[in-house]
Copies of this chain bind each other. A is one copy, B any other.
Amino acid sequence: MTLSSKLPGVVTRAETAAATRRTLIRAASQLLDEGGPDAVTLRAVGALAGVSRGAPYGHFESKEHLLTQLAVEAWNALADDVEQLRADLDADPGARLERAVLGLIAVARRQPHLYALMFSIPADAPAAVDAAGRLENEFLTLVADVVGEPDAHRYGALVLSSAHGIAGLELSGHLAKDTWGVGVEQLVQMLVDAIRLGADGRDRIVRQPD
């Protein structure tokens, strides 16, 4: 390898390429947030990133690959958040799970188009599997702290489904508070309560005469 970076500030070709790639992703993300999926055209992405309309093809196989990368990074960012949240040991398990669910919903509120994109990408793409798997494991651990190890998977699926449903219904406008008389925060609380109750209340109920 030659010392191509002879001067400070002078970067190698690989470095500038990586930087351009990141700039493209950032531009796509911004366009998605501000104007929705229709606003994300490769021409607009290129323009916002300061390159030509064909330049993205040097970094991404197609527009779909660029969007997939966007979704993968969103999955990872959310997994990072939940992972960080799990480090808060002073909160009780139920409260931590509640905050994790609200974290998922927060993405849907803050970046609705990105959230929708996360779930419209083929879930079997290797990168997507890894990223989504991280988040799933985080939730699994949080749920296990609430309902115990043996029921963690079952209730984990239920919690994640419900959380996703609340988020989705909220951002599609079908969760108006004046219709249901309940806000998202309350719903999440009800969900966690129901999980906790369902898990440790099962025996109690079964033993009880019906």
Contacts and interface: CB of A to CB of B under 8 A. Distances in A.
Interface of A: 116, 119-120, 122-124, 132, 136, 153-158, 160-169, 172-175, 179-182, 186-187, 190-191, 193-195, 197-198, 201, 205
Q: Please state the number of chain copies in the assembly.
A: 2
A155 to B, nearest CB: 8
A175 B157 contact: yes
A89 to B, nearest CB: 21
Q: Give the secondary structure class of A's interface.
A: helix
Given A157-B182, A161-B162, 17 more contacts: A119-B169, A122-B173, A136-B179, A153-B180, A153-B181, A157-B175, A157-B181, A157-B187, A158-B190, A160-B174, A161-B165, A162-B165, A163-B165, A164-B168, A165-B167, A197-B205, A198-B198
Nearest to A195: B194
Contacts of A123: 172-174
